[in-house]
Amino acid sequence: MAILGKIRKSSAALIGLIGLALFAFIISGLIKNAPALFRPSREYVGKVNGEPIPTKEFQAKTAQLQKQYGPRYSNMQIMKLVWNDFVRQKLLESEFHKAGIIVPDDRIYEKMKNDPGIRRMFTNEQGVFDENAFINYLENIKAAKDENPQAYQAWTDYQNQTRKSEGEQIFQSLINAAIQPSLEEGKWEYHKQNDKVDFNFVVVPYSSIPDSIIQITEEDIEKYIKTHPEQYKTEETRDIAYVKFPFEPSREDFNEVKQKITELINGWEVLDNQTNQTKKVPGFKDTGDIDGFIKQYSDQVLPVRWFNLSSLPKDVKDTLAKLPKGAVYGPVLKKRAYYVYRIVDRLDNIPKTAKASHILIAYQGSAAQSNLTKEQAKKKADSLMAVLKKNPGQFADLAKKYSDDPGSKTKGGDLGDFSFDRMVEPFSKFVFTHKKGDLGLVETRYGYHIIKVDDQSNEKTSAVKIAQLIKEVEPSEATLDSIYTQAAEFQMKVKKAGDIFKAAKESHKQAFPVKKIHKYESHFPGLNDQPRIANWLFNKKTEKGDIKRFETEDGYIIVQFTNKTPEGLMPASEAMVLVKPILIKKKKFEMVKDKLQGNNLDEIAKKSGGQKGKVTGASIESPVIPGLGKEPKVVAVALIVPESEISKPVEGEYGAYVVQPFKKEIAPDIKSYAAFVEQVKQKTERGALNKIVEALKKKAKIKDNRQVIGY
């Protein structure tokens, strides 16, 4: 009993100890899994006003666009397009809901039914759209969604896109209905276009005052930015500098390939296992199987082909044009490859161009294809040839009736003018080695050609048949190891110096700066698309001054994070390039405005050192000052100032002005300004939806979770 009593007395303490132990266990689990617990969910890539953008949908859309655009866009660029589209969609869906916009299914059906592409797909033999076939197709897709989920998903995506575009169209219609310019706005548009003014002026161009005498301080820049905050807001950006260590072959690599290609030219000896004696393998200059040799030993397999002298490779044109048949020229180094040329054949003193007609008789297996066997095609060609020998004048009619070349048969077989290297060899050899009017029968990979030589130019040239052996120079393993060592050593040097530019200068390397990099931007000048660098740069653990080495297909890149510009107003040092020209113009105006005073323009021009000028027919719609540019403020002042009076100094875009109007044509009032009200309405409607979306973006709470899921 005593023991039981002790247990009862200790029960509260025991329960407390057990509770503490359980609490400690739970807390340790929380601490261990804290990154997972507090990391944003991977189920969505972001939220717009609390509405999630599902990761699966985002990735599916990204994959779809990647397939659609191919290599034209980087993955990061495509991801940005998809992100912006989802944000726009979520913002507009919210507005649709507020406005009570519902896109009914029957409207979607009608829209799809009237889609020109769908109507083409379901047009029957009578040329009429078959709606029943369309409905059956939809039912079949739904019924087979488990067997063919891709087709079902594609159709669902199309429906959703149609619903989205229809919703936007309804919303746009509501916006347009709300845009109702006033009569006064229409009247102003009318006068903008039709009120004209002729005036004389004096201008002191800003370009006539040296920039060097104007002092602009950072305080001036800061003051201007603060008074124009909307124009100089900036997102968070980061700067980097990088040094490249490209995978380029060494001098030893070039020498090794040059030695190898010399061996390929001249041939080499190998041991014959059957006779146990060495034998000579014919090289490029001696081989009888040139095509086979090129396929086996050349890094680029180019066909052995004919060249007119004018179409020979420019860098070796003069040399190859003079070489005899059988000659070999090279190796010639071009960037990172050695080229060797062999003159397989040549024809001299042939016409520069010729004109011919042909009748093509194709056969089964030929490039042109036909139902005829080769024997049948040959027999048909021989028969036609026999007819033409007796009556050549029938050539065009027979070509139209029997030729298998659709491009020339309608022209009676006429191929027009061409040079030797434009046609296949047997064809060209006949045309360029026979005389005008000759008929002949040759076989090519297209079939049998009955050829008539229609004409030949008097100008003569040569044609050269060339084979090319190409060996590319790639960095060897030893060279790659050396490049790695150089990159690693440079990385350590940057860490020690703390400054990539200083380390680059000491190492006789060039460091390239890249400024104003935004989040999810991965296309860097000189580096192309590098998403890994972008992800590292905007990782929360990456700090200013950090250095990292990246391995790419082209080499190693040593990158340093050099600067960070927070979100908000642009710093004065960065805004300097944008604001300084504005402030320089303002200070120049202040310098000269007091000199733009006088009783007449001649006096003002003399006093200020300005230039006199004259403008006729200027309007607010077309405020052009000849020789300077658009000056809307100057023209507006000229329309306001009474005729013959001289205006006060005007701060223009290109200079400081005074104006003196001498003729005004103020358009008379008209009965109705409706046409001009409509013009204002159309101008306002243009781009209104996009402006609303941008305004909604500024007010929205947008949570961007892309980086967490690996983008």
40 falls in which pLDDT band (50, 70, 90)? low
With pLDDT > 70 as the criterion, what percentage of the chain qualifies? 94
**Which of 266-270, 628-632, 645-649 bottoms out in mean pLDDT, i.e. has the lowest?**
266-270
41 falls in which pLDDT band (50, 70, 90)? low
pLDDT tens by residue, 633-690:
999 999 999 999 999 999 999 999 999 999 999 999 999 999 999 999 999 988 888 8
pLDDT tens by residue, 223-236:
999 999 888 888 88
73 falls in which pLDDT band (50, 70, 90)? confident
- Is pLDDT at 30 greater than 60 in this prediction? no
Residue pair 155/148 in contact (Cβ under 8 Å)? The answer is no
The amino acid occupying position 596 is: L
Task: Say if strands 460-472 and 512-518 run parallel, antiparallel, or are unpaired.
Answer: unpaired
Cα 93 from Cα 160, distance rounded (Å): 12
Q: Which CATH number fits domain 196-234+572-665: 2.60.40, 3.10.620, 3.10.50, 3.30.70?
A: 3.10.50
Give the pLDDT confidence score for residue 34 in this predicted structure. 41
* Domain 237-248+475-566 class in CATH: alpha beta
Asked if the domains 196-234+572-665 and 237-248+475-566 are classified in one and the same CATH topology, the answer is yes
Give the pLDDT confidence score for residue 11 in this predicted structure. 40
The strand order across the sheet containing 447-456 reads 414-418, 354-361, 447-456, 439-444
Give the pLDDT confidence score for residue 711 in this predicted structure. 57
33 falls in which pLDDT band (50, 70, 90)? very low
361 falls in which pLDDT band (50, 70, 90)? very high
Where does residue 368 rank: exposed (0-12), middle (13-18), buried (19+ CB within 10 A)?
A: middle
- Is pLDDT at 6 greater than 70 in this prediction? no
Domain boundaries, the chain: 2-38, 196-234+572-665, 237-248+475-566, 252-348, 353-458
Helical segments of 593-687, H only: 601-608, 632-640, 674-685
pLDDT tens by residue, 162-206:
888 888 888 888 888 888 999 999 999 999 999 999 999 999 999
Token pair of 219, please? 């305080």
Please state the pTM of the whole predicted model: 0.62
28 falls in which pLDDT band (50, 70, 90)? very low
Cα 424 from Cα 442, distance rounded (Å): 11
pLDDT tens by residue, 411-424:
999 999 999 999 99
Highest mean predicted confidence (pLDDT) among 49-53, 191-195, 571-575: 191-195
Give the pLDDT confidence score for residue 543 in this predicted structure. 94
User: Whole-number mean pLDDT of the chain?
Assistant: 88
- Is pLDDT at 364 greater than 80 in this prediction? yes
Please indicate whether residue 125 or residue 165 has the higher confidence score (pLDDT): 165
Q: Residues 552-560: what's their mean pLDDT?
A: 95
The amino acid occupying position 59 is: Q
Q: Which CATH number fits domain 353-458: 3.20.20.100, 1.10.10.10, 3.40.50.12780, 3.10.50.40?
A: 3.10.50.40
pLDDT tens by residue, 91-111:
888 888 888 888 888 888 888
Q: Residues 501-520: what's their mean pLDDT?
A: 92
